[in-house]
Structure 1
């Protein structure tokens, strides 16, 4: 059985208008999707020439990938910078749960998920890249925190990847599908609190070493 070998993407080149190009491209991609986004429209939105775009990003896939990965990593670094390592398991997971929910509710977060669902059949390599630098990055960072809490004796976990995925999915219980399908325009703070608190109760009941504690 033969396999399809994907051509490697060329390297990014940076310059003075790099961030300007990213900002313009982000707007066009979120509005028109990956396939529908034209370089002409991106150049117009960014206020640069097409030659400038091609100088930085020889391939449109490279531009889209950079937008996804840079924003996901930026959000992860912001969350990491605000974490107090001395927080209890419940407080730390509550903080992370709210950050997960807030990213999903952001315009970028919800538009990106919708875009990826629409494009995955035609551009599976983009979906794989998004997963590695989006959900995959969340799992990687969360696993590190769960290991530390287990070593401290506050959690009892054997399969860290599974526990991480379970926590993320629990935090999205009242949010993700309704936003992704456009069933609601917004999620209330009360809904976020309810979803994250419910996730904490279930997660700590399963993995906490003292599940009856307040």
Structure 2
């Protein structure tokens, strides 16, 4: 019985956390980071101040949570195993495109850009807690493929940047600047496939699996 009660309380806590994060994101966009208080966030999210402070003792901690949740992959899948760079990059590319297509990702970047002059620490949080961990996971995958002999890459930082950039430059950045920018699922799949083919053609080892 106690396990059922614990699971219930965990679910309720997660639901309240999601409400808080959603309310904070909306208020940061509407009123700015500086003019949004934790009390106002508690009111908008419909939770008590005690509940909010228990989960997020500061506004900075709340923003870190927004970053972390925005950059979390939809399926929380593990990094693909090395051995077939086409299949592996295809999986990573589809996850990345899905990630960039979420409204909360666009919201996050808009908050950071708007508040950058006064709150550079927000950009640092976005970079260190969001973008870099994700980049490192892709970098690590390419390094594993290099060590497995499926690709030959002298600079994995450049290769990872090339791959992610080919996807984000079509799927994400226009959407950030043009609110009504829409890309169909079919087109996104084509963009990912072409990015995979480009990396495989550039770095694939002769006779390696996946070429």
TM-score by length of 1: 0.79
Change (3 A) 1:76 1:20: closer
Which residue does 2:180 correspond to in 1? Answer: 184
More displaced, 139-148 or 204-213?
Answer: 204-213
1:66 corresponds to: 65
Q: Which residue of 15, 19, 37 maps to 2:14?
A: 19
How far is the alpha carbon of 1:121 from its aligned partner?
A: 2.0
Aligned pairs, how many? Answer: 197
Distance 1:46 1:32 in 2: 10
Higher helix fraction (1 or 2): 2
How big is the shift at 1:149? 0.8
- 2:47 matched residue in structure 1: 48
User: 2:6 — aligned with what?
Assistant: none
Change (3 A) 1:183 1:66: closer
After superposition, where does 1:83-162 map in structure 2 within 5 Å? 84-85=80-81, 88-162=84-158
Q: Which has the higher contact order (CA 8 A, sep 6+)?
A: 2
Task: Give the secondary-structure state (helix, strand or coil) at the position aligned to 1:75.
Answer: coil
Q: 1:75 aligns with which of 73, 76, 101?
A: 73
What's the C-alpha RMSD, in Å, of the aligned pairs? 2.7
Deviation at 1:25, TM superposition (A): 2.8
Return closer, same or farther for 1:211/1:182 CA change in 2, 3 Å cut-off. farther
CA contact (8 A) 1:68 1:133 kept: yes
Distance 1:26 1:145, change over 3 A: same
Note the residue ranges of structure 1 that are not aligned, 5 or more in a row. Answer: 1-14
SS at 1:78 equivalent: coil
Q: 1:71 & 1:19 partners in 2: Cα distance? A: 15
Pick which of 40-49 and 194-203 moved more: 40-49
Asked if 1 retains the 8 angstrom alpha-carbon contact of 2:64 and 2:129, the reply is: no
Aligned position for 2:27: 32
Q: TM-score, normalised by structure 2?
A: 0.80
| 120 and 31 in structure 1: CA distance in 2 versus 1, 3 angstrom threshold | same
2:181 maps to 1:203 = no
Displacement after TM superposition at 1:198 (Å): 2.0
Structure 2 unaligned segments of length 5 or more: list them.
Answer: 1-8
